[in-house]
Amino acid sequence: MTARIINGRAIADAMQEEMQEETHQLVDKKKFPPGLAVILVGENPASQVYVRMKRKACEKIGIYAKQILLSGAIKEEELKDVIRQLNNDNKIHAILVQLPLPEHINARSVIETIDVRKDVDGLHSVNLGNLLLGIPKFIPCTPLGIMELFKREKIELKGKRAVVVGRSNMVGKPMAILMMHNHATVTICHTRTVDLPSVTREADIIIAAAGKAYMITGDMIKDQAVVIDVGTNRLEGKLVGDVDFKAVSQKASFITPVPGGVGPMTVTMLLANTIKAYKEQVK
Ligand code: NAP
């Protein structure tokens, strides 16, 4: 049997259409649009692509997107000053600092400078802490998008064994917490995990978020597992996931493709978080 392919692109498009309607109504009422500032430091080509995608999505649904391009040589304090100005700008309701930042900048310290109410990436310690406590306000966009895929595809988490491969603050950890709060039994794997295949073979649900092309192979999953591929890897000029799609889709019950799975949902949840931030700030 082959897996059902979760069409993240189509789900994201449908959600963005609903959001477009909502932003139009909000602008009619409040007379100004939600505003998102995206800060890009340096010239990382992948980051440039992500920032462009985010800006285009904003424009499509009626969010004002302010793109701030800064030199890779900028000092940490100068970057923080830019963020402080945005914190005080009432046209800007949401701030995103595109990661990774250049090595001489302490990314954690920069993120802590963002006003918690404008932290639509959900990476500020207050937002991550609230997520841990089960009282989230802003949830990181990728895990939030995956939860939306589960909801729309009616994939039950309660009682399931879930394995997350990857423990980053942006994807792996918040994903694991969200699934735990939804009553899955969760295991988190990383580079020091011994015998990863024996762990993934136990999983009803696998989230592959390691950033290693094709690392999840057909023999690493059990029959009928749900496989969510977060990975975005460039291989010979092509975008590929962390999952060997061809082999795994022969065994899984559900699978997300790369591209067209998790990626469009991440952008869509950024828009959702921006509208949420606007509604909370503009009463
Ligand atoms: P990250 O910060 O580099 O974290 C990668 C995690 O994977 C780390 O915890 C690392 O373990 C673990 N890992 C790496 N190789 C492994 C291996 N061979 N076996 C087991 N664990 C391994 O990356 P990230 O920001 O979480 O992103 C992960 C991937 O998702 C990347 O490809 C990224 O481009 C992609 N991504 C996609 C979207 C989207 O919208 N589609 C959004 C965000 C990220 P250690 O902690 O031990 O080093």
Task: Give, in words, the CATH class of 141-263.
Answer: alpha beta
Domain(s) of CATH 3.40.50.10860: residues in the chain: 31-115
Give me the pLDDT at residue 259, please: 97
Give me the pLDDT at residue 206, please: 99
Ligand 1 nearest atom to the CA of residue 242, by list position: 32
Q: How far is the CA of 64 from the centre of ligand 1 (A)?
A: 30
In this prediction, the residues of the chain whose per-residue pLDDT falls under 50 are none
Give me the pLDDT at residue 64, please: 98
Give me the pLDDT at residue 120, please: 98
Total Cβ atoms within 10 A of residue 71: 11
Q: How far is the CA of 170 from the centre of ligand 1 (A)?
A: 9
Task: Give, in words, the CATH class of 31-115.
Answer: alpha beta
Q: Which of 220, 232, 242 to mutate to test the pocket of ligand 1 (most atoms within 8 A of CB)?
A: 232
Residues in contact with ligand 1 (CB, 6 Å cut-off): 142, 165-168, 170-172, 189-193, 196, 209-212, 215, 230-233, 262-263, 266
The model's pTM is: 0.98
Residue whose CA is closest, atom 1 of ligand 1?
Answer: 168
Domain(s) of CATH 3.40.50.720: residues in the chain: 141-263
